[in-house]
Amino acid sequence: MALAIVLEPAPIETDAHGVVRVAKTRVTLDTVVTAFLEGCTSEEIGEQYPLVRNAEVDGANRPIPRVLLPTQNQPSRR
């Protein structure tokens, strides 16, 4: 039996002003990412922002380990 790999898109949307928000809420992606980087769990973020479900927090944070945010130190290239 072959396995099917399905990529689920992150539950984020860009509004008319170019602000990236989680799902269809007013919670911005940078707010969720900052909380995640500060050590908050999906459940803690969901408690602080009840309009965002835990699955949406997980989905929004999924690409974060592979992405360097502009506020982080960039690795030096040699």
Alpha helices (H) in 1-78, listed in sequence order? 29-37, 42-48, 54-61
How far apart CA 51 and CA 45 sit, in angstroms, is 10
Per-residue pLDDT 10s for the chain (78 aa) are 677 777 677 788 889 999 988 888 899 988 988 888 899 888 888 888 888 876 677 666 665 444 445 555 545 444
Flag whether 34 is in a domain: yes
Flag whether 59 is in a domain: yes
Flag whether 40 is in a domain: yes
pTM summary value: 0.61
Flag whether 58 is in a domain: yes
Domain that residue 31 falls in: 12-66
Flag whether 4 is in a domain: no
Domain count along the chain: 1
Flag whether 74 is in a domain: no
